[in-house]
């Protein structure tokens, strides 16, 4: 049984191809800011945010790949102990959509089955979309993941992603 005063910390990994908005999402959620280019100034492994969810105080640690995804060199340390996952692709980047299955597999190989959300980011750019909503639905179903549409830029659904994951993690604890 869980101790009432024990703090719950949840490590969340955010994976996907470069430039889909992973760092922006972490920054938005933890700091409430959005900028076009800040990556080089982050220089940390993760940012965190404390939230209350289902009556529990939870500390979410959101891990950033810090650009390493470009070299396919994300280390085991990045995945180690992750309890939840965001699989992110961009509305305007076909390759990022097609890479989702392989990202899912990488996470699964390291972490097993953990609560996961498939996130289609940059929905503010829907007029430039290169993915068909039906194929996105199909992929989510095939992966057995909840699908969410976000705009980190316009702050749409970002909180919902992390609230959903937190809630799912708490159920499993
Ligand atoms: P990462 O490589 O996946 O971490 O991607 P970044 O967070 O560095 O974002 C890549 C670029 O996409 C940056 O210029 C961001 O400002 C931009 N970006 C991130 N999210 C959104 C979004 O929801 N809408 C739009 N239009 N641009 C975004």
pLDDT, position 71: 57
| For ligand 1, atom 19: residue with the closest CA | 21
Name which of 154, 85, 88 is nearest 123 in CA terms.
154
| For ligand 1, atom 2: residue with the closest CA | 19
What distance lies between CA 127 and its chain's CA centroid?
23
Lowest mean pLDDT across 39-43, 67-71, 103-107: 39-43
- ipTM for the predicted complex comes to 0.99
SS3 82: coil
Tell me the pTM: 0.92
What would the mean pLDDT of 57-71 be, rounded to a whole number? 79
What would the mean pLDDT of 91-96 be, rounded to a whole number? 98
Q: Report whether pLDDT(82) > 60.
A: yes
CA of 90 to the centre of ligand 1 (A): 9
d(C-alpha 45, C-alpha 168), whole Å? 24
Q: Report whether pLDDT(37) > 90.
A: no
Lowest mean pLDDT across 30-39, 57-66, 133-142, 158-167: 30-39
DSSP for 97-147, written as a single string: HHTHHHHHHHHHHHH-S--EEEEEE-GGGGGG--S-HHHHHHHHHHHT-EE
Q: Report whether pLDDT(78) > 90.
A: no
């Amino acid at each position: 049984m869980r101790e009432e005063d024990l703090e719950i910390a949840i490590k969340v990994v955010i994976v996907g191809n470069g430039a889909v908005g992973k760092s922006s999402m972490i920054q938005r959620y933890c700091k409430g800011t959005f900028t076009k280019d800040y990556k080089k100034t982050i220089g940390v492994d993760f940012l965190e945010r404390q939230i209350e969810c289902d009556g529990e105080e939870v500390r979410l640690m959101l891990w950033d790949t810090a650009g390493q995804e470009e070299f396919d060199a994300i280390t085991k340390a990045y995945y180690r102990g992750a309890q939840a996952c965001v699989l992110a692709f961009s509305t305007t980047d076909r390759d990022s959509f097609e890479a989702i299955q392989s990202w899912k597999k990488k996470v699964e190989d390291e972490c097993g089955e953990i609560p996961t959300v498939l996130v289609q980011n940059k929905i503010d750019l829907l007029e430039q979309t290169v993915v068909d909503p039906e194929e996105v639905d199909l992929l989510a179903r095939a992966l057995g993941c909840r699908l969410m549409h976000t705009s980190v830029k316009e702050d749409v659904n970002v909180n919902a992603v992390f609230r959903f994951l937190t809630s799912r993690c708490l159920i499993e604890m």
